[in-house]
Structure 1
Amino acid sequence: METTNTNLPPSLEARVQRAVDNFMQGYGCCQSVVAAFADLYGLDDNLAKRIGAGFGGGVGRMRMMCGAVSGIVTLVGLDCGQTEGSDREGKSACYKVVQELLAKSKEQNGSLICAEILGLKGHDKAQSSYVASARTAEYYKKRPCAAKVESAARIFAEYLKNKQ
């Protein structure tokens, strides 16, 4: 999947493409997004992928919050999360960034919920199991996930660009 240029510096555009490439190599949506930026926060690729592993399939394949969106939340925490429990101001500042970026994601993708993004309804949603789907050509053709990974990575990259 080709990424679309939105005036990002080449270094950030490369991170967006890395997120998509990660997904196309079989990593989950959250893993793909987090790993593309993890080195900025002192995390190696393996640790980043382990941190994001449980968020796949809408959190443990329960089709709740989209894994790509969970990747944004994880990265915002790494970027500006507070480290003192009593730091309400820092907590609030982090929540503000999360809400702003997730509002962009919802605007671009119609939902933050995996089941809704995949178009799953009642019975289909209830049929979800913990067994990961095989990554076949058919899987990639019928799933919008690569585009959602790109969207999430681009939203975070734009946040980093605008923060400078």
Structure 2
Amino acid sequence: MSTKAEYAIELHDKGYNCAQAVACSFCQEFGIKEEEMFRIAEGFGLGMGMMEMCGALSGMMMIIGLQNSAGPDGEKLTKADTYRKVKEYVKKFQEQNGAYLCRELKGVETGKVLRSCPDCIRDAVALTEEYLENQK
């Protein structure tokens, strides 16, 4: 397990939600204060508070957007590319875990848990690291 994944699990163990744990583990690379990212990502936990998109994946998407976006002045140049990259990495997660929705991963309707939150966090961190490495 990577140091970043270990740190993300430590954050989750301290009470950070899945989105916060993933996104905050990449703050240093982007010069963002962890407290700010914590606040930004708060509403994305528990599958955006509604057991929809896995929070760990939401954190991953935030980092992909941070890395890929050209900002407001170049947004038209990067928006579609960012969407494509997010879709690609969510698909990789789904292939690994059988789902990308929090309620499906947690087995809310089926009673069968596909993946624990810590494992989703580890997977999302690993995919984020893979994405960032591929951008070099």
| Equivalent residue, structure 2, for 1:49 | 38
Distance in 1 (alpha carbons) for counterparts of 2:44 and 2:75: 27
Which TM-score applies when normalising by structure 2?
0.89
Considering only aligned residues, what root-mean-square deviation do their CA atoms show, in Å? 1.9
Distance in 2, matches of 1:43 and 1:76, equals 14
Task: Give 1:153's aligned residue.
Answer: 125
Residue identity over aligned pairs, in percent, reads 32
- Residue 64 of structure 2 is matched in structure 1 by 76
1:162 corresponds in structure 2 to 134
TM-score (normalizing by structure 1): 0.75
Q: 1:80: how far off?
A: 0.7
Give 1 or 2: higher helix fraction: 2
Report the secondary structure of 1:56's partner residue: helix
Gaps of 5+ in 2: none
C-alpha distance after superposition, 1:22-64 (max 9, x if no partner): 112211000000000012112111111111111111112x111
CA deviation after TM superposition for structure 1 residue 87, in Å: 3.9
Based on CA coordinates, which of the two structures has the bigger radius of gyration?
A: 1
Q: What is the 5 A alignment of 1:9-158?
A: 13-60=2-49, 62-84=50-72, 87-121=75-109, 144-158=116-130
Q: Which amino acid aligns with 2:38?
A: K
Equivalent residues of 2:106, 2:116 under 8 A apart = yes
Distance 1:162 1:58, change over 3 A: same
